[in-house]
Amino acid sequence: MTYGWAILIILVTVSVLFYLGVLNPQRVTPDSLTFPSGWSAYDYKIASNGQFYLDLGNGLGRQVTVDGVYCTNSATEPSNPGNVGMVIDSGDHKKVSEGAIVCEGASPGQYYKGKVYIWYTPVGSTVTYKTVGDIAFHVSP
């Protein structure tokens, strides 16, 4: 047997493993939710029905009111839904979504990759800001 046949057999074997999903990178990718500096996700989950649970941490150095949270896998940027209205002290964290918000496009048992939008207003200010996080999650079956 020559090296050419050995390489061909290896390529066919790897191709079959990819085709069957054994070497699917989404199966071994860890769940993650990352925000820009100043925000952190203490805990998060997407349930099988798409309900989004988020415990959000504020590291901005000032007290803020979280005005809205939105989760989507669409490329279209949403407007502020104004569905939260919760104050988070600097250095603290709170559950801003306990299933009342649904991740748009989530399906049971699937790998979900999308964006989490957070609109917030610093206490004492009238200016609303937006931050966007990236979420990758294996939705509960």
Q: Which H, E and C letters describe the chain, residue by residue? A: CCHHHHHHHHHHHHHHHHHHCCCCHHHHCCCEEECCCCEEEEEEEECCCCEEEEEEEECCCCCEEEEEEEEECCCCCCCCCCCCCEEECCCCEEEEEEEEEECECCCCCCEEEEEEEEEEEECCCCCCEEEEEEEEEECCC
Residues in the chain: 141
pLDDT value at position 100?
Answer: 86
pTM for this structure?
0.80
pLDDT of 17 > 90? The answer is no
pLDDT band of 1, cuts 50, 70, 90: low
pLDDT of 33 > 90? The answer is yes
* Mean pLDDT score of the chain: 89
According to the CATH classification, is domain 31-138 in 2.40.128?
Answer: no
Minimum mean pLDDT among 70-79, 112-121, 125-134: which range? Answer: 70-79
